[in-house]
A and B are shown apart, each in its own frame.
Chain A
Amino acid sequence: MPAAKWLVIAKNRYRTATSSIRSIRPYFLPLVIGLLAIYVVFIAPAVVTPLIDDFTAFIITRAAVPMVQIILFMFFFYLILIPVTDTLREVQTSQLEILVRAPLKPSDVLLGEFLGAIPFYAIAITLIIGTFTALLNPLGLDIIQNAIIIITFVTILLSALWIGTVIAAILRTKLGKTVRGKDVGRALSVLLALPMIAVGYAIYGGGLLTALTSSETSGMLRAVLSVLPSSWGAEIFVSFASNPGNVAAVGHETLTRLGGLIVFFAATLWLGTKAANRAYSLETVTFIAPKARPDGYFYKTIGYLGGGGSSGRLLVSIFKDYGRRLENLSWILYVAVLLAMLRIFISDPVTKPEDALILLSAFGIPFLGAFVVGTVSRGRETVFLYKKAPFGIGKFVKARLLQSWLVAAPIAAALTVISTITVPQITLASLLVNTLLGLLRTLASVVLVLGLALINPIFTEESRERNLGIVINLVVVLFATIGLEIGSTRLGLSFGKILPDLNQFTVLLCDHLLLTAFFSLIGITLLYLGTRKLSGIE
């Protein structure tokens, strides 16, 4: 009898995912199970020991239920997002054709893809459950309570993964049919992380927990949280923690909530298999190719800024290639939203007005530089186009630098203005100086990042590899920025020491300009070395 199709697909998914460790594949699962057992039995209890007293005191307070609800909601939401972002990052439909033309049901494909990924998600699930049970066990929970907690966790997390798998499959089919759709997918994969970051910031500095425990403000929030299946699980945990070793005391509530969770999981499974037909279709949705509009004033201005003539046209071409990719624009949006969230939840414009500017200078500008520059080019072949042309690499680097400056400068100016005007009693002069300094630092940051990107060029279209390159450059720029700031402070490098008669404002301005100049010098050196590297590439 032939093997069930979902099993064939699950095995294939597992094989694909473990291809990089093929030589140890037979030992992989036992090894992982062994390591997880060590974590659950020994490491997790040891790690949580210092927290036990605080946790025991906390779990019986009013804040416990909303806190556990939020933690479980974050796990729930995160496990939905993992398969979705993973798929959106690289929307691939070419493999789908293999499955669509084979004699099998779409629900087999969906179930197979889900089960094939489970061994890896099981690692995360076990780590989460192991940590939670290690926290709850010292309270004196009996074996039935422990078993119910494990079942609850597994049901919640598997439901989330299944929902994520179904959404990912549908999105892949919807977006994977056109180049535009794939671009939308990549852009969404960048932006989908923001809600999770927002919840984290809201807990850390936004008073979300206080709002949830306050009877005056939490009505709406509590109502929203209570309808989420993850919250039913949270209620089970907290009720067990309040009644350790006495499952009968909360038997009815437990049965209702656990039953609700199991029904929810079964319903999502059923609905998912029904949605599978939509998830595995290769019907073309559109035959209308994206069209380029004739150049308007914007591109004419860009061409003029690029020096007109062939240099201007080259800059316009590079600008178009950049601007027509939603993924690039999503990174800019990501930086802006991240800074806005830091401003809203973390920094306080009244008590610490300088926080916003520090955040912008230390984090915002390096992020902006790294994400605007991105990688050198989308393909090695593109670089060879320039290598073939006379003085091509020089023209290319110049155009990329101008393009990155032209994108980053207005955003940096806007972010600096917004960060500055929220500071109480700010003067127009300070606003202008701050904006100018922000601009100069951004331009220097872009030079540095472009130099780094040229030294370690990444040509792939694969998002994961490209994003890794961007993150590496970002980390380097962040360290350079923070390192230079701290280093200059530690060494006491300041114009105030050389010219003691200068007022404090001028000293700060000069110090800042000196740092920017130093930053630029490193950037220009890297840019020179990077250009040479690119010229020699084969």
Chain B
Amino acid sequence: MKVVIQTEKLSKYYGKGGEIKAVDELDLEVYEGETFGLLGPNGAGKTTTVRLLNCIIKPTSGTALVNGHDILKDETEVKRVTGLLAESPGLYEKLSAKEFLEFIGALYDVPKNVLSERIDDLLNLFGLHDRRNDLLEGYSRGMKQKVLIAAALIHDPPILFFDEPTSNLDPAAALVVKDLLRKLADTAGKTIFICSHILPIVEELCDRIGIINGGKLIAVGTVKEIIAKTKTKTLEEAFIAMTGGIDEKELLAWREHRGASG
């Protein structure tokens, strides 16, 4: 299978002397047409990894190839072949959904005749066609999320990065996104890289997953392999076993210390 994302000791350090290791010597391979999920607790380095792979920030050391393009040397090409739904994305709130997608399409050189048809199709898919001329400032968070997913798809890139794709979405919209991701991978042959805290989504959609903690990749494999490796029963248990959790008896300790009662 062709490798489309390959990181080589990819690292991003912050602070004096690099004492904060956001991503630490990450070695990872993602295959063409695969849906890969990156899991990790808050501050584990998921978003930094995605930002590095999309050339938004530069690595401290190491590099990565995205669809054969080096993130250090072929920045523009890497950006062309990827679509990104960021964790805390920016929006031009004073534009309508249609105007925003026109703008993003123009930034990615989508031909004009293709663009308007694609905008209509994507807005129809997400049930926003009737509100295409409404300013984004009037959209709910879920509706904005749908527009941002449409923006990530607008130039139909071979590799898609989704950072928390179903956050802010209602169950029906989340189902549309899940089905869409499945179709993109199975039918359109896209490579999909998902970062999420929502384990059932990752479990349901991803062919393989990676678990990152403290900037280090601590496990890679299928869900079954990860569960087997940790000798647990569910992905949740496996995740907690690898990244740490809180002992059940500690949950109400805060009351006992102060002598609170029933």
Residues of A within 8 A of B (CB): 2-3, 5, 8-9, 11-12, 15-17, 19-20, 92-104, 282-284, 286-288
B58 near A283 with CB under 8 A, answer yes
A287 near B20 with CB under 8 A, answer yes
A100/B56 contact (C-beta < 8 A), A15-B95, A16-B94 known:
yes
- The answer for the CA separation of A287 and B90 in the assembled complex, in Å, is 21
Q: Which chain B residues border A93 with CB–CB below 8 Å?
A: 90
Count residues on chain B whose CB falls below 8 Å from chain A CBs. 33
B90 near A286 with CB under 8 A, answer no
Chain A nearest CB from B31 CB (Å) reads 23
Chain A nearest CB from B160 CB (Å) reads 13
A95 near B79 with CB under 8 A, answer no
In the complex, the chain A residue whose C-beta lies closest to that of B105 is A8
A97/B106 contact (C-beta < 8 A), A12-B95, A103-B79, A282-B51 known:
no
Whether B91 sits at the interface, judged by CB under 8 Å, is yes
- The answer for the CA separation of A20 and B20 in the assembled complex, in Å, is 44
In the complex, the chain A residue whose C-beta lies closest to that of B14 is A287
In the complex, the chain B residue whose C-beta lies closest to that of A17 is B94
B14 near A282 with CB under 8 A, answer no
In the complex, the chain B residue whose C-beta lies closest to that of A13 is B92
- The answer for the CA separation of A286 and B57 in the assembled complex, in Å, is 14
Q: Across chains A and B, which 4 residue pairs bring their CB atoms closest together, nearest first?
A: A94-B90, A19-B94, A95-B90, A103-B79
If over half of A's interface residues share one DSSP class (helix, strand or loop), that class is named, otherwise mixed; here it is helix
A2/B109 contact (C-beta < 8 A), A100-B56, A101-B55, A101-B79 known:
yes
Whether B80 sits at the interface, judged by CB under 8 Å, is yes
- The answer for the CA separation of A96 and B57 in the assembled complex, in Å, is 13
Q: Which chain A residues border B109 with CB–CB below 8 Å?
A: 2, 103
Question: B92: which of A12, A102, A284 is its contact (CB, 8 Å)?
Answer: A12
A97 near B135 with CB under 8 A, answer no
- The answer for the CA separation of A2 and B106 in the assembled complex, in Å, is 8
Whether B202 sits at the interface, judged by CB under 8 Å, is no
Q: Which chain A residues border B57 with CB–CB below 8 Å?
A: 282-284
- The answer for the CA separation of A102 and B83 in the assembled complex, in Å, is 9
User: Can you list 23 residue pairs at the A/B interface with Cβ under 8 Å?
Assistant: A2-B111, A8-B103, A11-B103, A11-B106, A12-B103, A16-B95, A20-B94, A92-B90, A93-B90, A94-B88, A94-B90, A95-B90, A95-B91, A98-B104, A100-B56, A101-B79, A103-B77, A103-B80, A282-B57, A284-B14, A287-B20, A287-B22, A288-B15
Whether B108 sits at the interface, judged by CB under 8 Å, is yes
Contact digits for B94-133, partner A, Cβ 8 Å, 1 yes 0 no: 1100010001101111010000000000000000000000
- The answer for the CA separation of A286 and B84 in the assembled complex, in Å, is 24
Q: Which chain B residues border A102 with CB–CB below 8 Å?
A: 79, 104, 107-108
Chain A nearest CB from B15 CB (Å) reads 6
A8 near B14 with CB under 8 A, answer no
- The answer for the CA separation of A207 and B46 in the assembled complex, in Å, is 62
B90 near A96 with CB under 8 A, answer yes
B56 near A282 with CB under 8 A, answer yes
B95 near A8 with CB under 8 A, answer no
Question: B89: which of A2, A11, A94 is its contact (CB, 8 Å)?
Answer: A94
- The answer for the CA separation of A97 and B135 in the assembled complex, in Å, is 20
Q: Which chain B residues border A15 with CB–CB below 8 Å?
A: 94-95, 99, 103
B15 near A287 with CB under 8 A, answer yes
Chain B nearest CB from A277 CB (Å) reads 11
Q: Which chain B residues border A286 with CB–CB below 8 Å?
A: 14-15
B95 near A97 with CB under 8 A, answer no
Q: Which chain B residues border A9 with CB–CB below 8 Å?
A: 107
Q: Which chain A residues border B94 with CB–CB below 8 Å?
A: 15-17, 19-20
Q: Which chain B residues border A11 with CB–CB below 8 Å?
A: 103, 106
Q: Which chain A residues border B14 with CB–CB below 8 Å?
A: 284, 286-287
A8 near B107 with CB under 8 A, answer yes
B92 near A97 with CB under 8 A, answer no
Q: Which chain B residues border A19 with CB–CB below 8 Å?
A: 94-95, 135
- The answer for the CA separation of A496 and B239 in the assembled complex, in Å, is 84
| Given A15-B99, A19-B135, A98-B92: 18 more A-B contacts, CB < 8 Å | A2-B106, A2-B111, A8-B103, A8-B106, A8-B107, A9-B107, A11-B103, A11-B106, A12-B92, A15-B94, A16-B94, A97-B89, A101-B54, A102-B79, A103-B77, A103-B80, A287-B15, A287-B20
